[in-house]
Amino acid sequence: MSRIKYFIGEARKNIIRNGLMSVASLFTIVSCLVILGIFMIISLNVETVTNQIKDQCEIQVFLDINTSDERVNEIHTQISAMQNVKSAEIYTKEQMLEEVKTTMFKGREELIDTFDAEENPFSDSYKIVLNDISLAGETAEQLSAIENVESVTNKQDVVNVVISISENMRWATIIIMLLLLLVAVVIISNTVRLTVFNRRKEIGIMKYIGATDRFIRIPFIFEGVLVGIAGAIVAFLLMFGAYSFILNFIDKNNFDLFTLIGLKPVASWLAIIFFVVGGLIGMLGSMLSMKKYLKV
């Protein structure tokens, strides 16, 4: 325990001695983690929105207008038995007529009241939810081949675009994370290198009186880790406040087209990743610097 206190104490002294470089390292780590956090949050929410679109994306099947009620039920049974169909809901032509009255002709229902059951211009249809939206094209072809099916509407193109954006965002986040890690490690390495240079005489004396290599290295590793964790704390607080503000703004202005990830799960992810990445940046930067510049 006393050794740990000594190492932490030496790390704090090193940080204070090189105040300007330590602040530069801290600022760099905070900047890197904030940028990483922004891309993480965007990537997570794009993934969430993609899943919501997948769940909401339906295939609609429209039947020939002269299809009998018995045949409508037969086709419903046939569609429900298909492997990629999760659910199939019959949407009758009477329901369609009523919906048109209450939406497109609201307040002017008399213009469409002339249509009765026999003169209904609409056809029966089905709203179909799929198990695997990526197979929507194949399923649509199977549905089109069913007798009495007039047309099939498939939003696969929209889903493909959203999935592509999600995958590109995921790869962009990984690439940016690696680049930011490299930059931060180099900055930390330079900070520790300056500390080693300033204390070269003291290190020589410590070696002369029998200090081990590990004993000399550990304070510098602690220095890098402390700077990394401090940067993680600052970055976390900034991202927590910013995302909380965004969620409150969306809630107050009723932007509810899609549901974003809540604050708690995002905060948990950011806390874990920031502290792990921040600590690793500091440790790797210190070790890289000592391996190259500390002759112990």
Q: How confident is the model at residue 226 (pLDDT cuts 50, 70, 90)?
A: confident
The model's pLDDT over 65-94, given as tens digits with 9 standing for 90+, comes to 888 888 888 888 998 888 888 888 888 777
Average pLDDT on 104-123 reads: 58
Instruction: Give backbone dihedrals phi and psi of 88, rounded to 5 degrees, phi first.
Output: -135, 120
- The rounded percent of the chain whose pLDDT value lies above 70 is 69
How does DSSP classify residue 106? Answer: T
Q: How confident is the model at residue 2 (pLDDT cuts 50, 70, 90)?
A: low
Residue 27 is predicted with a pLDDT of 83
Over 60: is that where the pLDDT of 292 sits? Answer: no
Q: How confident is the model at residue 258 (pLDDT cuts 50, 70, 90)?
A: low
Residue 296 is predicted with a pLDDT of 47
Q: What is the pTM of this model?
A: 0.64
Residue 120 is predicted with a pLDDT of 66
Task: Enumerate the β-bridge partners of residue 130.
Answer: 85
Of 65, 2, 32, nearest to 184 by C-alpha is 32
Of 209, 219, 212, nearest to 289 by C-alpha is 219
Q: How confident is the model at residue 235 (pLDDT cuts 50, 70, 90)?
A: very high
Residue 7 is predicted with a pLDDT of 56
Residue whose pair of structure tokens reads 């290198």 in the numeric block: 193
CA distance linking residue 156 with residue 141, whole number of Å: 12
Residue 237 is predicted with a pLDDT of 94
Residue 234 is predicted with a pLDDT of 93
CA distance linking residue 215 with residue 22, whole number of Å: 22
The model's pLDDT over 170-202, given as tens digits with 9 standing for 90+, comes to 788 788 778 877 877 777 677 667 666 666 666
Instruction: Give backbone dihedrals phi and psi of 264, rounded to 5 degrees, phi first.
Output: -65, -50
Residue 72 is predicted with a pLDDT of 86
Query: In this predicted model, which residue has the larger pLDDT, 3 or 130?
Result: 130
Of 296, 293, 232, 243, nearest to 267 by C-alpha is 243
- Laid out side by side, the sheet with 125-130 consists of 85-91, 125-130, 59-63, 149-153
Query: In this predicted model, which residue has the larger pLDDT, 170 or 265?
Result: 265
CA distance linking residue 219 with residue 223, whole number of Å: 6
CA distance linking residue 24 with residue 69, whole number of Å: 75
CA distance linking residue 234 with residue 270, whole number of Å: 12
Class of domain 58-154: alpha beta
Average pLDDT on 281-296 reads: 66
Residue ranges of the chain assigned to CATH 3.30.70.3040: 58-154
- Using an 8 Å Cβ cutoff, are 184 and 285 in contact? yes
Over 60: is that where the pLDDT of 117 sits? Answer: no
The three-point CA angle 149-155-159 to 5° equals 150
